[in-house]
């Protein structure tokens, strides 16, 4: 049977892993914001809490054992970072993982953690391990690989519970009430039961198809991402780097799939072809959206030839069910690409990538397209739809104007790196200009009624999306929240608050009603908050007070036709620059 025929029915074993990260929600110490391993500096409790997490995880796993391991040492760091390992039960011959009736609660966690911290670090390890180590601002857990979603979910539940025993959280609140993830990401990994049995080697056409699939569906790059997207993020897309490299990648994927279906692609060729192309703008392979540095890398001693691909465009979810859902999605996409051709060419998104695909409205549509495609290939994910959609839906507030319901949500923003990328490559964290914010305004009503949005003297008509009788007016808004120091364009003042007037029209023409929305980055009226929010209700109250809704009279020129946008996002900063130049 020809390989091209065999690929239609191939079902390689696809194992799943992850890198959940946890922080101290109540702390503003450097260890929980930007430092990796403070190593005994004042206020450092990171190592102790990581040890408690490891001990609790070992107890919960049943038959597990915690050990102190030799951690990784990064450039310009004086010593290796701390690392604790948890030896987990082995996978049985039937694919089942052995579990005990262990638990993390009870006395002795702190005592056992102190013993673990004081024990001698060991180098080698065999068997099935999870590790607990330091990363900037967080404690990172590298899960043991799991053969199915059931064992993956059970493992993640143990990890979340162990993190709770250590007083650590999967998310945090900012002073202004914004809920953000832990800050360390929640990457996923795909591999096989052994390196040689990796699905990317059993079905070598899988990886080039997977690259094309992710590229053509921007929801897989941005829907699940945290706050920073784009070339300076921890998971830049290939087309957010150099143009020449992306064009070579497009050619490489087509050629690799052609050769793989004829049995002419092995692990060495697969890795050597893709490794120079799947990198960030500075040539760093670790930060690529699809990271192949552990696929079959002869230059990464001890851990380069694992047959693993890391998917980095996933933020840390608040609940383990969110990570299970994300794992279900990427496993299903991999299975779909292994079993069926994906003949679509890689789309050249150009400016549309950071304009249209920054808006949750369009990302949600694209995610639905992905889910429909998976169902059509016999891979339905109905049980995970709610958790998948919860990753990006972050409404900031709602209001009404005439027959329209308005909803303001946070959109994807692309923060640029401050300075040269090469000069920051050796640092544990990099400096980006985070002063810009992108929002999405959606106004919906039943019927084709006009709507305009006024910002200062500028008046625009959002793009209209239709779903039967319902019309949805969608507009992206980009503004400066604060003046960054250091940062880019430090003299450009912030748009605080962002003020816009939404005018609802009638079938006969003219404006029937108008509402002003004032969105504040900080509390209206200024002043300091009394510490970090203590609970979800207090965080929600602080967010709610930052959107002020005021009914106003339509402006005298409301009958005039508004400007029709050619883009999806209106940059309020550019309006300020344009007004200043006139």
Domain edges within the chain: 1-20+170-392, 21-169, 394-581
Q: Please tell me the predicted confidence (pLDDT) of residue 512.
A: 84
**Rounded to the nearest 10 degrees, how much is the dihedral formed by the CA atoms of 245, 248, 254, 256?**
-90
Q: Is the pLDDT of residue 98 over 80?
A: no
Q: Please tell me the predicted confidence (pLDDT) of residue 181.
A: 95
Within 10 Å of residue 185's Cβ, how many Cβ atoms? 22
Determine the Cα angle at 159 with ends 158 and 164, to 5°: 100
Name the strands in the sheet holding 498-505, side by side, starting at the edge strand that comes first in the sequence: 547-552, 511-519, 498-505, 451-455, 458-461, 563-564
What gap in Å lies between CA 444 and CA 469, rounded to an integer? 11
Q: Is the pLDDT of residue 431 over 90?
A: no
Mean pLDDT of 397-404: 94
Q: How far is CA 331 from the centre of its chain?
A: 17
Q: Is the pLDDT of residue 3 over 70?
A: no
Rounded percentage of the chain residues whose pLDDT exceeds 90 = 75
Burial (CB < 10 A; 0-12, 13-18, 19+), residue 94, is exposed
Q: How far is CA 278 from the centre of its chain?
A: 18
What gap in Å lies between CA 8 and CA 10, rounded to an integer? 6
> What tens digit of pLDDT does each residue of 213-244 get?
999 999 999 999 988 899 999 999 999 999 99
Q: Please tell me the predicted confidence (pLDDT) of residue 93.
A: 46
Q: Please tell me the predicted confidence (pLDDT) of residue 4.
A: 44
Mean pLDDT for all residues in the chain? 91
CB 182 within 8 A of CB 174: no
Q: Is the pLDDT of residue 462 over 80?
A: yes
Question: Where do the H-state alpha helices sit in 377-474?
Answer: 385-390
Q: Is the pLDDT of residue 361 over 80?
A: yes
What gap in Å lies between CA 297 and CA 62, rounded to an integer? 34
> What tens digit of pLDDT does each residue of 147-163 get?
999 999 999 999 999 99
Residue 261, Ramachandran bin (φ over 0: left; ψ between -120 and 50: alpha; else beta): alpha
pTM for the model stands at 0.94
Within 10 Å of residue 384's Cβ, how many Cβ atoms? 20
Q: Is the pLDDT of residue 322 over 80?
A: yes
Mean pLDDT of 44-54: 93
Q: Please tell me the predicted confidence (pLDDT) of residue 104.
A: 55
| Residue 577: band (very low, low, confident or very high) from pLDDT cuts 50, 70, 90 | confident
Q: Please tell me the predicted confidence (pLDDT) of residue 309.
A: 98
Rounded percentage of the chain residues whose pLDDT exceeds 70 = 92
What does the longest C-alpha to C-alpha distance in the chain come to? 81
What gap in Å lies between CA 408 and CA 394, rounded to an integer? 9
Q: Please tell me the predicted confidence (pLDDT) of residue 62.
A: 80
CB 420 within 8 A of CB 413: no
Mean pLDDT of 164-190: 96
């Amino acid at each position: 049977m020809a390989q091209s025929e065999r690929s239609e029915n191939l079902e390689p074993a696809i194992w799943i892993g992850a890198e959940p990260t946890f922080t101290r929600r109540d702390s503003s110490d450097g260890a929980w914001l930007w430092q990796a391993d403070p190593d005994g500096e004042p206020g450092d409790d990171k190592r102790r809490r990581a040890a408690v997490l490891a001990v609790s995880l070992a107890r919960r796993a049943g038959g597990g054992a915690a050990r102190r391991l030799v951690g990784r040492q990064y450039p310009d760091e004086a010593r290796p970072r701390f690392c604790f390992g948890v030896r987990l039960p082995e996978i049985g011959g039937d694919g089942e993982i052995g579990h005990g009736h262990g638990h993390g609660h009870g006395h002795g966690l702190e005592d056992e953690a102190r013993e673990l911290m004081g024990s001698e670090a060991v180098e080698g390890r065999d068997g099935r391990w999870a590790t607990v180590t330091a990363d900037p601002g967080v404690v990172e857990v590298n899960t043991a690989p799991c053969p199915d979603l059931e064992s993956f979910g059970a493992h993640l539940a143990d990890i979340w519970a162990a993190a709770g025993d250590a007083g650590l959280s999967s998310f945090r609140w900012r002073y202004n009430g914004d809920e953000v993830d832990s800050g360390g990401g929640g990457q996923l990994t795909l591999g096989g039961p052994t390196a040689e049995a990796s699905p990317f080697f059993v079905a070598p056409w899988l990886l080039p198809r997977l690259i094309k699939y992710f590229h053509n569906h921007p929801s897989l790059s941005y829907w699940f991402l945290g706050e920073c997207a784009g070339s300076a993020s921890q998971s830049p897309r290939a087309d957010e780097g150099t143009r020449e490299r992306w064009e070579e990648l497009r050619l490489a994927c087509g050629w690799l799939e052609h050769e793989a279906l004829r049995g002419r692609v092995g692990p060495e060729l697969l890795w050597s072809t893709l490794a120079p192309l799947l990198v960030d703008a500075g040539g760093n392979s670790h930060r690529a959206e699809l990271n192949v540095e552990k696929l079959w890398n002869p230059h990464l001693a001890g851990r380069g030839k694992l047959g693993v691909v890391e998917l980095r465009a996933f933020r840390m979810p608040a609940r383990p069910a969110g990570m299970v859902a994300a794992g279900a999605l990427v496993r299903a996409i991999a299975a779909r690409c292994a079993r069926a051709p994906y003949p679509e060419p890689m789309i050249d998104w150009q400016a549309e990538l950071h304009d249209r695909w920054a808006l949750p409205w369009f990302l949600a549509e694209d995610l639905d397209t992905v889910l429909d495609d998976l169902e059509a290939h016999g891979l339905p994910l109905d049980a995970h739809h709610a958790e998948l959609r919860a990753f990006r839906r972050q409404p900031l507030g709602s209001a009404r104007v005439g027959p329209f319901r308005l909803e303001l949500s946070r959109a994807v923003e692309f923060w640029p790196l401050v300075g040269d990328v090469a000069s920051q490559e050796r640092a544990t964290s990099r400096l980006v200009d985070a002063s810009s914010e992108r929002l999405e305004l959606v106004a919906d009503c039943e019927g084709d009624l006009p709507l305009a949005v006024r910002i200062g003297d500028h008046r625009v008509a959002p793009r209209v999306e239709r779903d039967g009788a319902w019309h949805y007016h969608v507009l992206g808004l980009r503004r400066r929240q604060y003046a960054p120091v250091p940062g880019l364009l430090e003299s450009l003042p912030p748009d605080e608050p962002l003020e816009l007037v939404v005018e609802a029209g009638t079938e006969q023409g003219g404006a029937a009603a108008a509402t002003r929305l004032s969105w504040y980055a900080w509390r209206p009226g200024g002043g300091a908050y009394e510490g970090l929010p203590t609970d979800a209700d207090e965080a929600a109250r602080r967010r709610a007070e930052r959107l002020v809704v005021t009914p106003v009279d339509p402006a005298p020129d409301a009958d005039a036709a508004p400007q029709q946008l050619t883009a999806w996002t209106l940059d309020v900063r550019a309006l300020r620059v344009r007004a200043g130049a006139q």
